[in-house]
Chain A
Amino acid sequence: QKEVEQNSGPLSVPEGAIASLNCTYSDRGSQSFFWYRQYSGKSPELIMSIYSNGDKEDGRFTAQLNKASQYVSLLIRDSQPSDSATYLCAVEPGGYQKVTFGIGTKLQVIP
């Protein structure tokens, strides 16, 4: 069974700090990886997608992928209270196969 593991948290960081969110996956053949942010009572919104090993940066967000270790992470620099949400890791095997979501990590940024 394909699994995506995340620590449910909550992860608390002070405002301005770096928040580090981690995710591991079991399907070694996975090809596409996504990070979503979900505010309470709202639907998920895409933050980052990453497809190859290494880092990918977009503003304050950096996604990191290590396929050998089956590990993907999301770094949020200069964390803001508005970043407080649940962050979902999603892994897609490739092609049109359905994606698997992790349980999500709740992030709390303390002012």
Chain B
Amino acid sequence: GAVVSQHPSRVICKSGTSVKIECRSLDFQATTMFWYRQFPKKSLMLMATSNEGSKATYEQGVEKDKFLINHASLTLSTLTVTSAHPEDSSFYICSARYHRGEGGYTFGSGTRLTVV
């Protein structure tokens, strides 16, 4: 249980285009989802907290107009990287908190974004 499905797993796009990443909680409702990015051999960096039905909360230094987050339902959150540039190339991962059993944070499988 407590599965988060993330798509796509890998995407290559041209500079200037936008890319949408989806995260769905399959067997639980996620009122809050977290979006991270991770550079090679670095730790997770929280980008924003996505709240169902309200605006996302962005971490300091993260451009909200560039990384658009939508959390329209209790099971779906999306991250859109707008006008992507090569420096946006990274591993993006979503996560949600679940409270059944031992509880904890479950992660999506991640999206490897490469901007060329």
Chain A positions within 8 Å of B, measured between CB atoms, are 32, 34, 41-46, 49, 88, 90, 96, 98-99, 101-104
Contacts and interface: CB of A to CB of B under 8 A. Distances in A.
Interface string B50-88: 000000000000000000000000000000000000000
A91 B38 CA distance: 18
A98 B49 contact: yes
A46 B105 CA distance: 7
Contact of B43 (A41, A98, A99, A102): A102
Interface string B87-116: 000010100010000111111111010000
Contacts of A101: 43-44
A44 B109 CA distance: 8
Contacts of B43: 88, 101-104
Interface residues of B, number: 21
B13 interface: no
Contacts of A96: 32, 97
**Chief secondary structure at chain B's binding surface:** strand
A53 to B, nearest CB: 17
Contacts of A43: 6, 93, 107-110
A44 B44 contact: yes
B44 A42 contact: no
B46 interface: yes
Contacts of A41: 91, 112
A42 B9 CA distance: 10
B46 to A, nearest CB: 7
Given A44-B44, A102-B43, A103-B43, 18 more contacts: A34-B104, A34-B105, A41-B91, A43-B109, A44-B107, A46-B104, A46-B105, A46-B106, A49-B102, A49-B103, A49-B104, A88-B43, A96-B97, A98-B49, A99-B34, A99-B97, A103-B42, A104-B43
A90 B103 CA distance: 13
